[in-house]
Amino acid sequence: MQPIKNKYLLLLGALAVSSLYFIWLYVVMKNLFDIIYLRAAQLEISYNFATIPVQLWIFSIFIFGGLFVASNGKLKLSNRIKRIYMTVIPVASLAISIGLGVVLKPMLIKHLTNNGYQLTETIQASKPWYFDKEVYELNVTNISSAH
């Protein structure tokens, strides 16, 4: 009876993490689209969007782990697939994340400043694994004097 209970607990944990992941992804993507389409007078920019590739890889671990548990450990993968999944994909995800952070954040900041936003404050991270946030507010006087 114990192995079945453990299997259900593992599947329940994977389901909980998966649902929380989609909530996190929604919040990050909503913030990114708000910045791109200038949907608010006050916008926050952080490096959260750059972690999406790494987060997708971590999420896939829960998916494959759930499949492995559901198949009673009978899921066999070749050594080539294991090597790709455990070395190539994480390195590629990390490289893409760094590239997104280095390239996309300055582009988003330039987009905001070109459309009348100004940096009002920088919120320091409360924990080492959080990112600092830069708050930009729409400068209405600048826009009205430009037109």
Between residues 138 and 64, the one the model is more confident about: 138
pLDDT at residue 85 is higher than 90: no
- Note the pLDDT tens digit of each residue in 34-73: 999 999 999 999 998 999 999 898 888 877 777 777 777 7
Any idea where the domains of the chain sit in the sequence?
Answer: 2-146
Are the CB atoms for 39 and 31 separated by under 8 Å?
Answer: no
Q: What percent of the chain has pLDDT over 90?
A: 47
pLDDT band for position 76 (cuts 50, 70, 90) = confident
Q: What are phi and psi of 44, to 5 degrees?
A: -110, 135
From CA 4, how far away is CA 61, in angstroms rounded? Answer: 21
